[in-house]
Structure 1
Amino acid sequence: MASDPTEQIELVETGETFRQIVFDDVDGEEIAYLTALSPKEYDPVDVMNIYTLRTLIEILFHDLKQYTNIENFHSQSVNGVLFELLCTLIGYVLVEWFWHCHPLRGGVPEAIRIIRTRWNPSLRSYG
């Protein structure tokens, strides 16, 4: 259950005031969100959904940077870079799907290694 959406918290360091929203997770532990989103426009459930999706997107981009060569592009054109990004995203989603269908101890890196060696032994690097 969410706390009172009008509860305000002031940060000592900056003096800024934020709206605090508290939820109980499935284990009964409290999860607190501090937000500047208006209570008139965003109810507590919307705030929780927005921040949960934001966290998932940040994890996706972290994983993309960690497991792919997404920071270095071969193309110099906007269309080429978008094509590389889309192909990398599709490839990563397929690797994640493979890993979830065939759980491996090494996680995504091990799934990438197995796909590389079994699909085309001549591929020695990604990117």
Structure 2
Amino acid sequence: MKRITVLLADDHTIVREGLRAILQLEADMEVVGEACNGHQAVALATQLVPDVVVMDLAMPLLNGLEALKRIRASTPASTKVLVLSSYDDAAYVQQARALGAAGYLVKQNDAHILATAIREIYQGRVYFKPIKPVSLQCP
């Protein structure tokens, strides 16, 4: 079985490590690279041509929306971008979608949703699910 190749782009090391740990549990996924800023995300996406780029919006040097735009311009249509952000504003979702994102998740969602979203967009579908309500109490 072909594994879904994933590039992680987030400026927080602990977040990237957590995402990698989550995705390593999935037999059909392989993290092929990590970027800590928007410029690195564009360069690695162009070089590695992953199936899916998991992209944060708030990144240094080049924000996630501009990086998304450049990735869409420099990689084949088979490379999909899934935005994973703490921003739950509908305007960001609309901007990301307009720039070519295949999906959008907020970081407040449960971890298992990430693998589901990656599989969905890898298979050519979009994944723009409702935002999980934020609770004042952590589980």
Choose between structure 1 and 2: higher strand proportion.
Answer: 2
**TM-score, scaled to structure 1:** 0.22
Choose between structure 1 and 2: higher helix proportion.
Answer: 1
Higher RCO, 1 vs 2 (CA within 8 Å, ≥6 residues apart):
2
**TM-score, scaled to structure 2:** 0.21
Larger radius of gyration: 1
